[in-house]
Amino acid sequence: MSATILDGKALAQRIQAELAVEVADFIENNGVVPCLTAVLVGHNPASEVYVRNKRNACGRLGIDGRLERLPAEATADELLALVTRLNKDEDVHGILVQLPLPSTIDPARILQAVSPLKDVDCFHPENVGRLVQGRPRFLPCTPHGVQQLLLRNGVQIAGSRVVILGRSDIVGKPLANMLLQRGAGADATVTVCHTRTKDLAEVTREADILIAAIGQPRFVTANMVKPGAVVIDVGMNRDDSGLCGDVDYDAVREVAGMITPVPGGVGPLTITMLLENTLTAARLQQT
């Protein structure tokens, strides 16, 4: 029997409807419109699409979605000056520096310059530290989307064996920390795999919940999945067949108990969690 499809797009729409009510209530009670400003350097086609989708989502929820552009030849100092101006702008509650940046600019230097109170991507070292300690200001967007996808589909996380493929600062590491915490949506036993992991398939077959976030198209095959496991595909790749994830979807679907599609799985929830963080940032800056 084929796996149950975890529809991230439909879930994102439900959560956004909830957030729209909260945004309207916040505006009515505070006379302030939450504002997210995206910073785009150069003209990367994928980044253009991502930023446009984020701004469109802002509009649907009543959030002010702004865009600041710099040319591809902009220097790090010019970008830092823009970030500094946005940090000081009281009308801006969230700052999103769209990655990747041109190769001439060190992204760590830029991300560290964003005010921790406006760091809605949760990349600043202060916010990462708070996450590790279990007292987050914001939750990183893609990991939070994965967590919501599991929680709202009734997946048992507490006590489950979770295996995460990938140790990136954007997905793998923060998601592992979130699922290790105590409380709802956590209390899991987590293993993080990477390029140096030995006997990888043996490890992944132990997973009750397998999360693929390695950026390699169709890397996870059916023989790597325990029958009945929940498979979350965070990957977004393009090959000769078009868009695909890190999971061999058609084959794994026949083994897994639940699975996310690509597209339409984790991606829409990433944007949704960004909007939630923007509202949280606006609330924090009113206190």
205 near 238, Cβ under 8 Å? no
Q: Is 54 a catalytic residue?
A: yes
**Both tokens assigned to 15:** 């959560």
Domain with CATH 3.40.50.720 in the chain: 141-267
Measure the CA–CA gap between 84 and 82, rounded to whole angstroms: 5
Q: Which of 64, 119, 121, 248 is catalytic?
A: 121
Q: Identify the pLDDT of residue 238.
A: 86
Please give the model's pTM, rounded to 2 decimal places: 0.95
CB atoms within 10 A of CB 209: 23
- For residue 231, give the amino acid letter: V
CA torsion, points 16, 18, 19, 21, in degrees to nearest 10? 130
Q: CA-to-CA distance for 220 and 204, rounded, in angstroms?
A: 9
Could you tell me where in the chain the CATH 3.40.50.10860 domains are found? Answer: 31-117
Q: Which is the catalytic residue, given 16, 98, 147, 148?
A: 98
- The reply to whether 16 belongs to the active site is no
Residue 1: per-residue pLDDT = 67
Structure token digits, residue 213: 């976030």
Please give the pLDDT value at position 121.
96
**Both tokens of residue 122?**
């949760």
Catalytic, out of 16, 54, 173, 248? 54
139-175: pLDDT as tens digits:
999 999 999 999 999 999 999 999 999 999 999 999 9
What is the rounded distance in angstroms from the CA atom of residue 269 to the CA atom of residue 15? 9
- Specify the CATH number of the domain 31-117: 3.40.50.10860
- Per DSSP, 197 falls in state -
Task: Name residues of the chain where pLDDT drops below 70.
Answer: 1
In words, the CATH class of domain 141-267 is alpha beta
Instruction: Quote the Cα angle for 258-260-265, to 5°.
Output: 145
Q: What angle do CA 51, 21, 118 make, to 5 degrees?
A: 45
Looking at residue 60, its amino acid is R
